[in-house]
Amino acid sequence: MLAGPYATMLLGDLGAEVVKVESPGGDDTRTWMPPVREDVSTYYLGINRNKRSVVLDLKDAADLTLARELAARADVMIENFKPGGLTRFGLDYTAVSERNPGVVYASISGFGTAGGAGLPGYDLIVQAVSGLMSLTGDPDGSPYRAGISVFDVMTGLHAVAGVLAALYERAESGVGQHVEVNLLASALSGMVNHSSAVVAGGVVPYRMGNAHPSLFPYEPLPAKDGELVIAAGNDGQFRKLCDVLGVPELAEDPRFARTADRTANREELRPLLVERLETRSRAEWFRELNAVGVSCGPINTVGEGVELAVDLGLDPVVSPGGVPSVRNPITLSRTSPSYRLPPPGLNEHGDEIRAWLGEA
């Protein structure tokens, strides 16, 4: 629902001509509302710019012929079916690559093509079974999902990386290949230090709320008017933090001098930092700490996050066809992402695509 459309939107931003093939009922995310913009789901709008939409019913012989012709002409084909779901239509990798040896064919699934081939993949389920939910939430509370579909997005990014790598290799070999990504593998890779703790250290991580298992301070701490997230990632940054807070002696205290010491003695250190932080506002500490290279920030709403990006000159919003969306995060010096098409209506380009496929 998300990984494939997100991946193809990013490729469209980078210059690809993307044809979005929809069933007669259309992309499910068209109906995921609220919120809406002019009666269109903002979920759908957020992941479908720079695409042309055509409706093809694969159970209809004429439409299936057009779908096969489209696959035969494609540089890249990305599919989001359960493994094997396209085989009966002759649109699996083996069939497509026989007609189109140069095709880079990317398959996105929930759990891969072996024992999990029959399992449908939703981000929430993968957050549960991968262990992420066991890490999210208060230590004594219930497990929580992340606030976004983090593994769908991550898997979409992995799909883009695989596609671009295969295209680069094809420039030399002239031959395409099958790129496969799945949500669970992306989840285990994306949990980085936590999954590494298991496979390399034999340690099973657990919920720590907003605390970090290997760093302190690296969490929200109370200032005079609310919580401020502070991230002192090394000994030098901790010394600067102590200097700004007016307690330089803490950086020399053997209980807190090194990262491992601060982590082990966090319960002793936390109240000493809070005592100083509560004397001033978040805005004051934000200015002073960032000025010396200690990263910190207030806990914003998403709206405030967008406003901050605007204030920092990141130009986070683009509006192809007058439809606002969040810009592609990649900046290139010569071939910048472009925003040519707004998210398409269902079958908006059907006649155009069908006419093109009918040409020699």
- Going by C-beta distance under 8 Å and a sequence separation of 6 or more, which residues neighbour residue 304? none
Residue 20, SS3 per DSSP: strand
CA 303 remoteness from chain centre: 18
Indicate the burial class of 327 (C-beta count within 10 angstroms; 0-12, 13-18, 19 or more).
Answer: middle
- Number of helices (H), then strands (E), belonging to the chain: the values are 16, 12
What is the rounded CA–CA span in Å between residue 77 and residue 8?
10
- In sequence order, what DSSP letters do the residues of 187-231 get, joined into one string? HHHHTHHHHHHHHHH-------TT--SS-SSEEEEEETTEEEEEE
Q: Is the dihedral of CA 308, 311, 316, 318 positive or negative?
A: positive
152 catalytically annotated? yes
Q: Are 35 and 47 a contacting pair, CB within 8 Å?
A: no
- Going by C-beta distance under 8 Å and a sequence separation of 6 or more, which residues neighbour residue 21? 54, 55, 56, 67, 70
Residue 317, SS3 per DSSP: strand
For 123, the token pair is 């981000």
Candidate list 13, 92, 123, 152, residue with the active-site label: 152
Q: Which residues are catalytic?
A: 152
